[in-house]
A and B are shown apart, each in its own frame.
Chain A
Amino acid sequence: MKLISLSAVAVLVFAAFVSAQPATTRPTTQPSIDPVADQILRQSCEFLAQTKAFSVHAEAWKDEVLPSGHKIQVTRSEDLEVRRPDRLHVEERAHHKGRSIWYDGKTVTLMDRERTTYGVADAPATVDQVLDVLAQDYGVTVPLEDLAVADPYAGAMRNVTAGGYFGDEPVLGVPCRHIGFSTDRIDWQLWIADGEQPLPQKLVITYKNEEQSPQYIAILSKWSLTGRASDLAFEFIPPRGSQRVALTRQNERDKESAWANHESDHR
């Protein structure tokens, strides 16, 4: 009963704080984070950071808001395989589609499994760096990348303005502790297993500034903390019939736009 009361208070405090914040401005006050929520997250992140190699499976759902105003949900599965600090393998599948990433410490390979095309680029020295390069240089965001970085706590808490602990709830039968945090752009919730291995079991991200506040929901399962640590898991072997193509860098796209601007000015 005491736990429930504390949770209710935390929810109210969290909701009051979040509702008091303008959606598009950075708060000038210190973040209001429930220390219990912070502690739960910190324990999970420290446990994850100390895990040298792991793999996890996720079933994920994401909302799409059509210009007509209809909100639909699409489904995909994601598999993440990490060996710290410099190995990463990601597989993402949906109906007729598939995307893969291999990072072996020296190069990163992206593959479009639908078209069996792949591109290879030189890569920096760590998983953290390659995730940033993929996002900033190649326009590729890796789902669940928060689990793969060296310091998951720092990555998750960046720009957080509020946080709360919402009590205990099971996820697929696993007793979990439910926490939630807020930034200017997103609200995110995490269900973390309550036990010796405090691993995330569910993630919900709400894009609250977007029309109809679409969500990304992932149920995580099949955690393996030994992982397939062999180098082979992170090495790309081109499938028969696949084509190597160039990877378009985002700044090249910007140059093209600039070129087009120039051309249009002289027509």
Chain B
Amino acid sequence: MNPTTDKRFALCRPSPLALAFVGLIGLATANATADQGRGSIRSAARPAARSQPSRPEPARAEPSRGEPARAEPSRAQPERPQPQRDVRQEPQRGPTASRDWDHGDEDTRHFGGYDRAVPEHIERGQRFRQLPDRHFDISWNNQHYFWDYGDGFYLPQPDGEYIVVQPPVGVIVPELPDGATAIAYGPTTYYYLDGTFYVAAPNGFAVVSPPAGIVIPDLPDGAAQVIINGSVVYQLNGLNFTPTLDGGVTAYTVTPS
């Protein structure tokens, strides 16, 4: 048994209080435009720019607890949380203005440290002998997966362990993972976390391929730096991530490699 991985799960076990706190802070990522033009009298006379989407209220239904320290993945289906409302019908909150230069604050890179509330990060390719207590069973394309309500998506291995993989396109998760950032692109609101893009679906949130040109706030883990035409570009899973300064904040434009 790997003590490191076991410790991780122990640390990640959410208490109701912790869930409430994570919910409070996680929601803060939604209000990514609350700071527009702060600190300037003149800016109040400028026309308001476009708005950013808000993050939908995540469901906080407690999942059923799996049996601890199982050698085999459980086939028992936990209680499925109720489907979420269509997030595009959520009312917008906060001001309508464009991203500001210090508005790393209000996304996951908030000055105030909102990113501290994002659950402990798991890297793709990590192997675990146990699933976290709080997990959800997902079947997709005749393959069984487990999801930990964060950015951990587990594929059972023949040896009884679980390997963390990128959620496949098409999978539907019952709720958004904590820390997902809402990004408006055309008529669609995407939700992004560590290289995975989600859109609202009837029974939750579907994993989708990103549209070319969408701008994300953070690089996914494992993105490799390359030089293309003398400029730094990051690549992962057939995608290019080109750094730009958007509203004075570093962001990454996603295009096919």
> Which residue numbers of A lie inside 8 Å of B, CB to CB?
60, 62, 64-68, 70, 72, 74, 76, 78, 92, 94-97, 99, 110, 112, 114-115, 117-119, 131, 135-136, 138-146, 149, 155-156, 158-159, 183, 185-186, 188, 203, 205, 207, 210-211, 214, 216, 218, 243, 245-248, 250, 253-254, 256-261, 263-264
Contact = CB atoms under 8 A, between A and B. Distances in A.
Given A139-B98, A144-B39, A260-B213, A64 B248 contact: no
Interface stretch (B46-54, B123-131, B138-146, B152-160): B46-54
B188 interface: yes
A159 B245 contact: no
A120 to B, nearest CB: 10
Contacts of B67: none
A99 B39 CA distance: 15
A155 B249 CA distance: 26
Interface of B: 23-25, 27-28, 30-31, 34-46, 49-50, 54-55, 57, 93-95, 98-102, 104-106, 109-113, 184-188, 211, 213-215, 231-232, 242-251, 253
For A139, A188, A216, A245, the residue with the greatest tally of chain B CB atoms inside 10 Å of its CB is: A139
Contacts of A76: 102, 111
A172 B88 CA distance: 48
B42 A216 contact: no
For A64, A135, A144, A263, the residue with the greatest tally of chain B CB atoms inside 10 Å of its CB is: A64
Contacts of B101: 92, 99, 110, 139-142
A247 B244 contact: yes
Contacts of A60: 39
A145 B31 contact: no
B38 A216 contact: yes
A263 B187 CA distance: 10
B123 to A, nearest CB: 20
B213 A158 contact: no
B35 A99 contact: no
Given A145-B39, A145-B40, 19 more contacts: A64-B112, A68-B23, A94-B105, A112-B104, A131-B42, A135-B37, A138-B248, A139-B101, A142-B40, A146-B41, A155-B42, A158-B42, A158-B45, A205-B44, A211-B93, A246-B244, A253-B215, A256-B215, A257-B50
Given A74-B112, A245-B243, A112 B250 contact: yes
Contacts of B43: 135, 141, 145
A251 to B, nearest CB: 11
Contacts of B54: 67
A64 B35 contact: yes
B41 A205 contact: yes
A67 B244 contact: no
A155 B41 CA distance: 8
Contacts of B245: 110, 112, 117-119, 138, 245-248
23 contacts: A65-B34, A66-B24, A67-B55, A76-B111, A92-B101, A115-B243, A119-B245, A140-B100, A141-B36, A141-B101, A144-B39, A205-B39, A205-B44, A210-B94, A211-B93, A245-B232, A246-B244, A248-B245, A250-B49, A260-B187, A260-B211, A260-B213, A264-B187
A143 B243 CA distance: 25
A112 B12 CA distance: 32
Q: Which 10 A-B pairs have the closest CB atoms?
A: A260-B186, A143-B39, A139-B247, A94-B111, A115-B250, A248-B246, A140-B101, A119-B245, A139-B98, A140-B248
Contact of B111 (A74, A185, A188): A74
A136 B106 CA distance: 20
A65 B102 contact: no
A9 B54 CA distance: 43
A237 to B, nearest CB: 18
Nearest to B252: A245
A262 to B, nearest CB: 8
For B50, B243, B253, the residue with the greatest tally of chain A CB atoms inside 10 Å of its CB is: B243
For A67, A72, A142, A210, the residue with the greatest tally of chain B CB atoms inside 10 Å of its CB is: A67
B232 to A, nearest CB: 5
B44 A261 contact: no
Contacts of A112: 104, 245, 248-250
Contacts of B100: 139-141
A62 B40 CA distance: 12
